[in-house]
Amino acid sequence: MAVMPTAPTPAADVEVVVVEPRAIVSWSSILAGALIALASLVLLSVAALAAGLEVAPVGDGGEPLFGTAVASIVTGIFIVIAFGAGGLTAVWAAGHVEPGPAILHGFLVWALALLLLLALVALGVGGFGGTATFLGGGFEAETVEEFEDAAWATVLALALGAGAAVLGGVLATREEISRVW
């Protein structure tokens, strides 16, 4: 059986799909992620306060129930969970599947949440009579070394939050996660 070559066909009308460029940064998803991070951090911290894990019993003036080391570890875990969830939420809501925009979204979630948290503290929402905050007991440094130790602990907490938000954003780009939701 011989195959006959087909005659060339005239140019047909081909539908061309024009894709509009989309913004790399979705501020609404970043705001949602920052709010998720803050709400989760407050919820987890208040639960730890109720359990006595982060502060000493009222009127005791001593250390937290299980010591300052456990309180610091619990707080660090809460920061990782809260900001990881915030970064994941932002990237998922923005619909990104590439790691570049995901990293940017995660970092911006952390930065916006930090600004919102600083605004709340500046307005006095985070404190109760100057002795305690919703994130733990009030801090009064008596020596320069105590102040330096608190500053380094703050740097570590900020780095944990930024890293967790970026990691949560990158995790949201994984096919197993983006396909499910």
Rounded Cα gap, residues 142 and 94, in angstroms: 46
Residues 6+ apart with CB under 8 A from 74: 48, 53, 54
User: Over 70: is that where the pLDDT of 137 sits?
Assistant: no
Quick one: tokens of 153? 């602990």
Percentage of the chain exceeding pLDDT 70: 73
pLDDT digits (tens, 9 = 90+) for 51-102: 777 665 555 555 666 677 777 888 899 999 999 999 999 999 998 888 999 9
